[in-house]
Each structure stands twice: as structure tokens, then as C-alpha cells.
Structure 1
Amino acid sequence: MAKFQLSCLLSLGLFVGATTAWGDDSGRKGLADKHGPAGIMGDHLHEQGEWMVEYRYMNMYMDDNRVGETTLSDSQAIAYGATSNPITNRGATPTQMTMEMHMVHVMYGASDDVTLYTMLMLPSLTMDHLRGPANPAGPGTDFTTHNSGFGDTTLGALIRLYSTERCDWILNLGASVPTGDIYRTSSAPTGGLVSQPLPYPMRLGSGTFNARPGMTVKYFADWWSWGGQIQTDLPIGKNYRDYQVGSEVRLNTWTQYLLTDQVALSWRGEHVWRDNYDGADPDTPDALISTNVESFRGGYWYNMGFGAQAMWRGNYFNAEIVPTLGQDLNGIQLETDYSIIASWSRAF
């Protein structure tokens, strides 16, 4: 047991400068940093028979296009499409996008070491465009498309692998169910002349069952805590539109500092790796717009989150602003500027 405690400290890189002993401190995990920052999911469990209900809101804002690490203006994005492989943006180029997400999260402690969870998602997607040279509605004019409804449903189990008064190892056996619509049309791109399927980023789900395994480790000192998490999203097969969204890996580390027992501040670093799509929807020609191109969906993102957590009369509040500091995108894509995440939860 002593060896495992030491290995936990070594794996977190905290054995130097740790200010507390492994004494009796059963209340330490019940302070304001008991949950990770707002952008982290699957990092805590509940006692047997305990329920938790959470409402979570996220808004991600994207503006301008990027090729690799280079930002392009709207006119440059159209010009790039004329020489890219494949040729694209002849119909239009995206110029900015807002992705809002409303989430309802329910957790239940099946035992002290196993917590079950499910999450319902309601995305609202809005994308602005500039029409390209081959658009019948007139090049250089702009238009907006919008899509909203139910997204894919997430469910799973969190399993406590190891725990002391100061350290937790949690396995996440998660999955998603394809409840989000992946085929809707709009006549906005052609000014009402012809309807077209909405491109990939405007669709409400993946269309496939996805495995979402993950692992979280947390360490609690007297007035601060540290966490690390790896989370994956692995599509299984292709959907009925004959494509598969890209696999994704997210690696997060965070530190939280207690201002009081009820208020904490957090800092978080996030690495995101995402693959291109596999296969292709037969009704989404590459030449029309870059958001139809399956080989332009992957890349790497580095995000940094700054947040705060607070407890008040049994309620738990969590908020974070997450600017994107670095991104290297495959092909041409909208670049991500920042996200805002906030949640309220209550256990009973």
C-alpha cells in the first residue's frame, strides 16, 4: 500500500514540495476543488445511492480560416480553394461559426466505487459564409446557416481503481449513442434556388456508436490540488451516410487553488488530437465548400483554461474561459478562438 501511495505522488510529479502528510483528512475531497475545472468531465464519483443533476453550457467561437498554422482572410480562403487538393470553396467559404451546447448531466452512485452517468446534449450551430465564384446566388455575397436539436447521447460508468485521503484513480468506461441528426438540408447557400445538405461541422452528431474510454488521476494537498486526464472518442464503423468522423484524444492537466473552503481558482492545459474523416457522404461535393472535405477535418489544438469553482448552500458552480493558444489544422478549416463553459450542479 505504501508503494502505491508513493507511485501516485511520483506519477503526478508532486512528491517534492508536498506540504501535507497522508493522515486522517477525510473531508479534504469535499472542498471547492472536489470537481475539476468546467471543461473536465468524468473526474469524480458519488457515494452509493447519491444522485447528482447538472446543467452545463458551452459556447465555442471560431473566426477566420487557417491552413496548418497560417491564418487566411476570407478572400484568401476562396483563392486557396482554387489550388488546394481537392479543389474546394467554389460555392462558398465559411467565415465564422458559433457552437452553443446545452447539456443535462445525471450521475448516480451505484456503489461507493461505481458511478453511472448519462448526458443529453442540445447543440445550436450557426455558421456565416461568403459565396464563392461558382455560386448561382452571386459571388461575394454572404449568408448564414443554422442547425439545432438533440445531439448524441453519452452514457457510461466511472470506476474507482484506487483511492486514499489524498489521491484518486478513476476509470471512465463511456460511450455515445447516435441520437443526433446527421442529414438536414438548407437552400441558404444558393439563395433559395437549390437545397443542399448541411456540411459536416453543422451536423448534430456522429451517426455512429462511439467508445469513449478515459482515465483520471487526482491529488489533493492542503490548499491546492492537481489532476490529469486522458479522454478518447473512438467511432465504431461508418454511419448510414457512409462516413466515419475522426477519432479524438484529449489530454488535460490542471491545478486548482483554494481561496476558501468554498471558493477555488483553476488553471488547465488541454491538448487535442483529431483525425480526418474516413469515407464520404455522397451528397457533399468537395468543390462546393471546404467543410465538405473529409481530409480537412483533423488537426491539433492547444487550449488553456482559466476558471473558478464555488459551493453555496449545496449548489456547485463552475465556470471557465478557454482561449485556443495554438492549432495546426489539416487542409483549410475555421480556426478556434475561444470557448466559454459554465455549469451548475447539485447532489442529493
Structure 2
Amino acid sequence: MKKYISAILLMASTAFYAQQTNDESQQWSAGRPDGHAPISVMGDHMHGKGEWMFSYRYMYMNMDELKQGGEDASFDDALSDYMVTPTSMPMNMHMLGAMFAPSDKITLMAMFNYLSMEMDHITRMGGTFNTESSGLGDVQLALLYKFFNKNQQTLHGQVGLSIPTGSVTESDVTPASSPNETELPYPMQVGSGTFDPNLVLTYLGQNESISWGSQIRGIFRFGENDREYRYGNRYSLNNWFAIKANNWFSVSARLEGLIVGEIEGADPNLNPMMVITADTNNSGGTYINSGVGINTYISKGALKTLRLGFEFGYPLYQDLNGIQLKAKETVTFGTQYSF
């Protein structure tokens, strides 16, 4: 946590220094292909008074094989302590977003998402089976406040709240429950079941051909959901830069540090001895994630201000609590249109 406090102070100091020493006549501009962060970063920018923006993002995330702590683990390692282990888990997420600026200082944001997940398993006896879940996730609401925009740099903060509209009671048929459905473990649920506030600070800068940014984010969990648990807090520090190749195309690179806390409490309907995903000791960890992307921007014509973005992400480091599926590739595609 101290590292993230230090990061906040560094961002604020850098922004303050830039504000005091540069020409105040130049403002940071979103009207270029690198004017927004990589498409996987949320709440990275603000809008002018009266402006709307609608967005759609599709994200595919794959988890495959096992890791125990910082070391690779085998399925046999998991099956020595549990009756069942997952072997892979692909997830698809569709996200619809809307932003509106009632003033130059304030932008309001809402995000809705739909998730679908599959999980393949192997049993101690050598059998295999698959479970699936899907549904609407939690709704995200936020208010963004701009501290300043000058010298081709800007700093804004965000206060948000996750509304627990997603289910925490998703179920499916397993060999042990057949022909009836049974409640699925924590990673297969589409919601959190709790009201989760978040705080974000984002710094952006640019010159004629390069842009860069840094965002620190904290998601805080309080209380318990209807299943007597809550997910762990999440702390992330995202850093990126982009090179503007021309007026409509840019390439980007991103590096993220992420800390995820363990699940607190336990769902009484889950048997932690059965499968690793039902044991809360096997949750949370520390990650360093990378991403490379391309971004396009249409500056004139009928589709003026339309953006398209793509990013391929891959973890560079992961140290997991207990034994868990290993994070693999993440692919994000999105489009944004403002008016």
C-alpha cells in the first residue's frame, strides 16, 4: 500500500511542477489518435461541457494451467489436496459505456457489462467436465473531476461506485450434483454482491508526437453479500505511452502493477475441500501485466470523432495466493464516439 501512496504523491508532484513551469496557453487535447489511453484503461479522459460519449468494448481473457505462489504447478499437485481442479477458463465480457459532461470540470460516467464464462475441470479419478455461467454484471457509476488542463498536461480524479446488479448465485450441473444444478465457485459468478466504492487519479501528458499517462486505482470492498463473503480489495497502477504515427493512427504500450486481496468470508453452499476455486485461500495475488495496442481516430467527415482501439495484453509476472489458474492472454477491442 505504501508504494501506491508514493505513486500518488509522485503523480501530484509531477503535475504541480509541470503546471508551474510550462506555458499555460497550451492545453492537453483529446482530438488525436493517442488522445485517449489504451482501450483497456477506463476513466482515462474527460469531456468538455455538454459533450457526450458512448463506447463499446469487448474483452477476451484466458486462464490456463496452474500456478502455486510464483511457481508453475501441475494438475496432480492440485489433485493431491482437492477432488477437482479447473484446467482452463476463458471469459468474454461486453461493456457498454456512456459519459456526459455537465461542465468543463465534471464528467459523469456509467458502465454496463455482460459476462460469459466457461471452466474445464479434471477430477482425481481422471474424469472431465465443463461448467458455464453468464449474465449481466455489476453496474459502474462514477464522477470525474478535472483539477487542471494546461501545458499539454491534465490531472483528474474519479469517485465511483459499483452497484451489485450481477448475480452471485450462478449454478450449473456437475458430476457430483447431476441431474441437479449446484452453485458454482467464486470465479464463475458474474457479480460481487456488494456496493464497492473506487477512487482513481489519472495524469496525462503529450507533446507533438507522443502521449503518456499514469493512473492509480483502488477498489474497496465493504460488508458481505448474500452468500456471506466479499471479494478482496484491488489496487492498480497503470502506466502507458503512445506514439502518434499520423493524424489518424497511433501505437501504444502499457505496464500495470496489480494487487488483489483474498476473498474474506465464505459461501456456506461451497465445499472448499472439493475444488480449488471453492477455497478462499486460493484467491488474490500480485501481478505485473503488459499490453501493446493500436488506436485510430477519425478527425473529419461523417464519422468525425469515432475511435477504434485494440490491445493485446499478457502477464509478465504473477505471484498467486494458494494454487490457482494462471492468467494468460487478454484481448480488448473497442470503439468510442463523442459528440
* TM-score calculated relative to the size of structure 2: 0.91
Q: Which range moved further: 181-190 or 219-228?
A: 181-190
Report matched runs for 1:128-167 at 5 Å.
128-132=120-124, 139-167=125-153
Q: Deviation digits for residues 199-228 of structure 1, max 9, x if unmatched? A: 000001100000011100011111101100
Q: Deviation digits for residues 80-132 of structure 1, max 9, x if unmatched? A: xx2xxxxxx21x10000011100000000111110001000101111110022
Inter-CA distance 326–8: structure 2 relative to 1 (3 Å threshold): closer
Inter-CA distance 8–150: structure 2 relative to 1 (3 Å threshold): closer
Q: Give 1:66's aligned residue.
A: 67
Q: Distance in 2 between matches of 1:227 and 1:238?
A: 35
Q: Give 2:165's aligned residue.
A: 179
User: Residue 103 of structure 2 aligns to which amino acid in structure 1?
Assistant: S
Q: Distance in 1 between matches of 2:30 and 2:238?
A: 20
- Residue 105 of structure 2 is aligned to residue 113 of structure 1: yes
Q: Distance in 2 between matches of 1:23 and 1:8?
A: 19
Q: Give 2:312's aligned residue.
A: 321
- Residue 286 of structure 2 is aligned to residue 300 of structure 1: yes
Q: Distance in 2 between matches of 1:144 and 1:323?
A: 25
What displacement does 1:76 show? 2.8
Alignment counterpart, residue 336 of structure 1, candidates 301, 315, 327? 327
Q: Distance in 1 between matches of 2:192 and 2:224?
A: 9
User: Residue 95 of structure 1 aligns to which amino acid in structure 2?
Assistant: T
Mapped contact 1:262–1:310 kept (Cα < 8 A): yes
Q: Distance in 1 between matches of 2:259 and 2:175?
A: 31
What displacement does 1:8 show? 7.2
Q: Distance in 2 between matches of 1:217 and 1:285?
A: 44
Q: Give 2:38's aligned residue.
A: 37
- Residue 14 of structure 2 is aligned to residue 11 of structure 1: yes
Q: Deviation digits for residues 173-192 of structure 1, max 9, x if unmatched? A: 11100000101222224272
Structure 2: gaps spanning 5 or more residues: 1-9
What displacement does 1:66 show? 0.6
Mapped contact 1:29–1:220 kept (Cα < 8 A): no
Mapped contact 1:255–1:268 kept (Cα < 8 A): yes
User: Residue 142 of structure 1 aligns to which amino acid in structure 2?
Assistant: T
Mapped contact 2:199–2:217 kept (Cα < 8 A): yes
Q: Distance in 1 between matches of 2:11 and 2:275?
A: 49
User: Residue 135 of structure 2 aligns to which amino acid in structure 1?
Assistant: G
Alignment counterpart, residue 94 of structure 2, candidates 73, 85, 102? 102
Q: Residue 36 of structure 2 aligns to a residue in which SS?
A: coil
What displacement does 1:196 show? 2.1
Q: Give 2:207's aligned residue.
A: 221
What displacement does 1:193 show? 4.4
* TM-score calculated relative to the size of structure 1: 0.88
Mapped contact 1:29–1:165 kept (Cα < 8 A): no
Report matched runs for 1:198-217 at 5 Å.
198-217=184-203
Mapped contact 1:127–1:144 kept (Cα < 8 A): yes
User: Residue 11 of structure 1 aligns to which amino acid in structure 2?
Assistant: T
What displacement does 1:236 show? 1.9
Q: Distance in 2 between matches of 1:124 and 1:255?
A: 31
User: Residue 136 of structure 2 aligns to which amino acid in structure 1?
Assistant: F
What displacement does 1:23 show? 6.6
Q: Distance in 1 between matches of 2:12 and 2:278?
A: 47
User: Residue 223 of structure 1 aligns to which amino acid in structure 2?
Assistant: S
What displacement does 1:342 show? 1.0
Mapped contact 1:131–1:189 kept (Cα < 8 A): no
Mapped contact 1:8–1:167 kept (Cα < 8 A): no
Q: Distance in 2 between matches of 1:39 and 1:47?
A: 22
CA RMSD, 1 decimal: 2.1
User: Residue 149 of structure 2 aligns to which amino acid in structure 1?
Assistant: S
- Residues matched between the structures, number: 323
Q: Residue 292 of structure 2 aligns to a residue in which SS?
A: strand
Q: Distance in 1 between matches of 2:28 and 2:74?
A: 53
Mapped contact 2:61–2:331 kept (Cα < 8 A): yes
Q: Distance in 1 between matches of 2:147 and 2:210?
A: 22
Q: Residue 235 of structure 1 aligns to a residue in which SS?
A: coil
Q: Distance in 2 between matches of 1:271 and 1:116?
A: 26
Q: Distance in 1 between matches of 2:264 and 2:251?
A: 40
Q: Give 2:254's aligned residue.
A: 268
Q: Give 1:57's aligned residue.
A: 58
User: Residue 210 of structure 1 aligns to which amino acid in structure 2?
Assistant: D
